[in-house]
Amino acid sequence: METALRRVPTSETLDQAADLSAPVLSVDGLAVRFDGQSIDLIDGISFALRPGETLCLVGESGCGKSLTALAVMGLLPTPPARIVGGRATFQEHDLLAMPARDLADLRGDRIAMIFQEPMTSLNPAFRIGDQIAESVMRHKGVSYREARYAALAMLRRVRIPAAEKRLDAYPHQLSGGMRQRVMIAMALVNHPDLLIADEPTTALDVTIQAQILALIAELQREAGMAMILVTHDLGVVAEVADRVAVMYAGRFVETGPVEAIFADPQHPYTLGLIGSLPSLGRRESRLATIRGSVPPPERLPPGCRFSTRCPFADTRCQNETPPLVAVGDMGHHVACFKAPLENHVAERAA
């Protein structure tokens, strides 16, 4: 099977998209705080997503990428986590202020989410056909027969072999890759406008991962669905992203078009991430490493949160928060006082 995994964005289509289509989702200054903590764990996250666009949130465990996704979906565990600032607008709806009932109407219909572990979304006690059909009946108000037919069509769409038979299977009777596909079928059965995917392929083998990514890309191309993909795998990012946001300790440290992030990385944390990846080509050198690990929230510095691990940090970095500023004209932004590095630290390397 030959599958084009990425749409090829030319500058022309990008410009058109920028001109013609209003964002599906725009998030502005989102802040999340845990009860009893004195700092915002998610601190001033802003982004906008247009139809058909894929934004990848990249970062290590605990950086807040999943928390951001959950906050947008209205799925934060409150308490202890609370949204303390910002706005999230989805097609004119104010996601953070709308009543829980209305939000429940949107979720599973216009906005869908898939998780790393399919068993968190599948009920082990119900047949998968009924679980998918339930979502259709809930949002489309159709009969069980029609809903079941939609479920069958969707299972075929995600290439579940012998789909008629699998309708009556229980989740435990399926392999991991199949469960993941069932979960995707359930998320996409109502053709949402926005898909939030939290590490959807991390637990899968590479051959199954390739199948799932190809499938998502195909469905996205057809329906113009926008996607937020949360991942730590830069290989997956390079493959599916239009734009990338690199997150560290609850803040965006660098955002931009995927080409710019990989060809022209600016933030020391982005550099560390890229440098610490082994390559599939001939070995060039030892892997770059980032010293230490992410400090616990109560020990985060007042300034740049990466300054405790950054080899270039000075007292200004520790005390003052660098704003996201534009580099170039492609929508590439970086939050670092030392960017571009070659202008600020050249003498040190000499």
Partner 1 sequence: MNADVLVEAHNLVKHFGGERRLPFGRTPTIHAVDGVSLSIRRGETFAIVGESGCGKSTLARLLLCLIAPTSGSVMFDGREVTAESPQALRGLRRDMQIIFQDPYSSLNPRMTVGELVAEPLKVHGIASGRDLDDRVAAVLRRVGLRPEYAARYPHEFSGGQRQRIGIARALACGPRFVVGDEPVSALDVSIRAQIINLLEDLKAELGLTLALVAHDLALIRHTSDRVAVMYLGEIVELASRDALFEMPRHPYTRTLLAAIPVPVPGRHHHRAVLEGDPPSPAAPPPGCRFHTRCPFVEDICVSERPVLRDAGAGHSVACHLADRLPPPEREAAGFVAAPARRERLALFTAAQEAASRNGH
In terms of Cα–Cα distance, which of 81, 87, 50, 86 is closest to 64? 81
As a whole number of Å, the CA-based R_g of the chain is: 21
For the segment 41-60, give every residue that binds partner 1 (CB under 8 A). 60
| Residue 162 in the binding site for partner 1 (CB under 8 A) | no
Which lies closer to partner 1 via its Cβ, residue 145 or residue 282? 282
**Run of H or E including 229:** strand 226-231
φ, ψ for residue 163 (rounded to 5)? -60, -40
Q: Please state the closest distance from residue 181 (CB atom) to partner 1, in A.
A: 10
What is the spatial distance between Cα 201 and Cα 212, in angstroms, rounded to a whole number? 7
CB atoms within 10 A of CB 84: 13
214 makes contact with partner 1 (CB under 8 A): yes
Q: In terms of Cα–Cα distance, which of 188, 224, 269 is closest to 54?
A: 224
- Judge whether 220 and 210 are in contact, CB under 8 Å: no
281 binds partner 1 (CB under 8 A): yes
Tell me if 345 contacts partner 1 by CB under 8 A. Answer: yes
Determine if 170 is a binding residue for partner 1 (CB under 8 A).
Answer: no
- CA atoms lying within 13 Å on the CB side of residue 269: 27
Select from 290, 317, 334, 335 the one that contacts partner 1 (CB under 8 A).
290
Q: How far is the CB of 189 from partner 1 (least distance, A)?
A: 22
Q: Is the peptide bond before 80 cis (omega within 30 degrees of 0)?
A: yes
Binding partner 1 (rule: CB under 8 A), the pick from 209, 220, 255, 307 is: 209
Site for partner 1 in 131-150 (CB under 8 A): none
Nearer of residues 4 and 22 to partner 1, judged by Cβ: 4
Q: Within positions 239 to 278, which residues make up the interface with partner 1, using CB under 8 A?
A: 239, 241, 258-259, 262-266, 268, 271-278
Q: Write down the least CB distance from residue 82 to partner 1, Å.
A: 27
- Smallest distance from the beta carbon of 68 to partner 1, in angstroms? 18
Q: How far is the CB of 28 from partner 1 (least distance, A)?
A: 27
The minimum distance between CB 282 and partner 1, in angstroms, equals 7
Beta carbon of residue 236, minimum distance to partner 1 (angstroms, whole number): 5
**Contact between residue 309 and residue 318 where contact means Cβ atoms under 8 Å apart:** no
* Residue 55 contacts residue 331 (beta carbons within 8 Å): no
Say which residues have a Cβ less than 8 Å from residue 206's Cβ, sequence separation at least 6.
none
Check residue 211 for interaction with partner 1 (CB under 8 A): yes
Instruction: Dig out the tokens for 259 from the structure.
Output: 């080409």
35 or 284, CB closer to partner 1? 284
Q: Considering only residues 58 through 87, tell me which ones interact with partner 1, judged by CB under 8 A.
A: 60-61
d(CA 151, CA 235) in angstroms, rounded, equals 32
# residues near partner 1 by CB under 8 A: 71
Q: Which of 80, 70, 56, 38 is nearest to 244 (CA)?
A: 56
Stretch that binds partner 1, among 32-40, 121-129, 182-190, 238-246 (CB under 8 A): 238-246
Task: Restricting to residues 178-197, name those near partner 1 by CB under 8 A.
Answer: 178
Q: How far apart are the first and last CA of the chain?
A: 51
Among positions 311-330, residues that touch partner 1 (CB under 8 A) are: 311-312
Nearer to partner 1, 192 or 265 (CB): 265
Cα(264)–Cα(206) distance, integer angstroms = 28
Which of these segments, 22-30, 71-79, 89-97, 227-235, binds partner 1 (CB under 8 A)? 227-235
